[in-house]
Amino acid sequence: MIPQNDVALSTEKKMSPDFVRISAASAIALRLQSGRFSREFEFGGINLLLNYEDGCMSDCGYCGLARTRPGEYEEKSFIRVEWPLVDTDLLVDRMAEHHDKLTRLCISMVTHGHAYRDTVDITKRLNKKITAPLSILVAPPTLNKEKLQVFKDLGVDMIGVGLDAVNENVFRQHRTDVPNGSLRWKNYWDIINYSREIFGPWKVNIHTVVGLGETDKDLIDLFYHLRENQILPYLFSFNPEPDSRMGNWDKASITRWRRIQLVKHLIENYDYDQSNVKFDEKGFINQIKTTDNSISRVLNSLDKGIPFMTNGCPNEAGTEVGCSRPYGSYKPSETFRDFPFQPVEDDLTLIRSELALEEITN
């Protein structure tokens, strides 16, 4: 293990593009920070986050980086994970040293006036020494169609959009109805549609969060819409950030979460007919029809746990998830809500219990 003081981890206020924050998992994988995962697995998806002294200008009610959340920006967590600050050039050199283990890189933008400029700068630095596929999780208020084309021309492989709230009412409730709020539902969908036009089929992904006040029907209607447009939905479970405006909200039950994961998998991999999913009067799943033999087989095997793995951008070959984001939807002390590795039989036994399929299958 390389000592921390040899790799320029810093707590000083140093800003992008010369400094970025990286997820704790990325820091461990690159030997920039000591630590280990609760269960050993191969991890090569490196996540970078832009850093500014005045932070992100958005103020989303559930986000650890929200402008009005108490505390210094550099001390704030993001999806309840610590993000140490690292010198960008030293980070690029360290990634080059570990190039054979890298499966995917991702730059997460924030809503800030310098975010586009600095993302271009960091992308160019990465391209000089790193060949792993690169995604950008974009901040739509900072972008337009021409800037997305610049990302494409620079060799960016995929675009992610953190829509999070899956209907406009929930979006407005948690993302825009705050003093001086400026995020717009239409702006997000314009960037989604421009990205699909520029980057092509299955090269755009939408982050969706379960537990912000939406219904199951809202989520599943969106999954079908995205599939028709060859856009990938990535699933997150709301995980309350302490001191955020939604810090006291309850997260979705594990049973609801598992059922959404399973139905999403059926839609994406088995062309599951939308009429086979039934909802109660509040819009939550109360029946999954299993008359198709293939669906029955899936339910019996739960597809060996694949529906319950982390949704993330693929590796270069496109055969496996390249960005597995461990602990993005749950605490390390909690049961895995999404698995950064393929679940084993003991995990599947627990998942079957959590799903309680006998309540909703015929």
> Is 362 buried (19+), middle (13-18) or exposed (0-12) by CB count in 10 A?
exposed
Contact 310, 325 (CB under 8 A): yes
pLDDT of 176 reads 77
Side-chain-facing half-sphere of 11: CA atoms under 13 Å: 6
pTM over 0.85: yes
The model's confidence at residue 73, banded by pLDDT at 50, 70 and 90, is low
Cβ neighbours around 154 below 10 Å, total: 15
Q: What is the mean pLDDT of residues 108-123?
A: 97
- Supply 12's token pair: 């000083």
- Supply 195's token pair: 């990205």
pLDDT of 327 reads 73
CA 31 – CA 90 distance, rounded (Å) = 12
**11 pLDDT higher than 60:** no
pLDDT of 6 reads 42
**75 pLDDT higher than 70:** no
Q: Which residues pair with 9 in a beta bridge?
A: 86
- Supply 236's token pair: 């997150």
Cα-based distances in Å from 25 to 20, 65, 166: 15, 18, 28
pLDDT of 45 reads 95
Q: List all residues 6 or more positions away from 60 whose beta carbon is below 8 Å from its beta carbon.
A: 66, 164, 174, 175, 183
pLDDT of 3 reads 37
- Residue of 321 and 66 predicted with greater confidence: 321
Q: Which of 349, 217, 213, 190 is nearest to 283 (CA)?
A: 217
**189 pLDDT higher than 60:** yes
CA 224 – CA 222 distance, rounded (Å) = 5
Per DSSP, helices labelled H in 167-292 are 168-171, 185-199, 216-228, 254-270
**Beta strands at 9-10 and 85-87: parallel, antiparallel or unpaired:** antiparallel
List domains and CATH numbers for the chain: 4-359 (3.20.20.70)
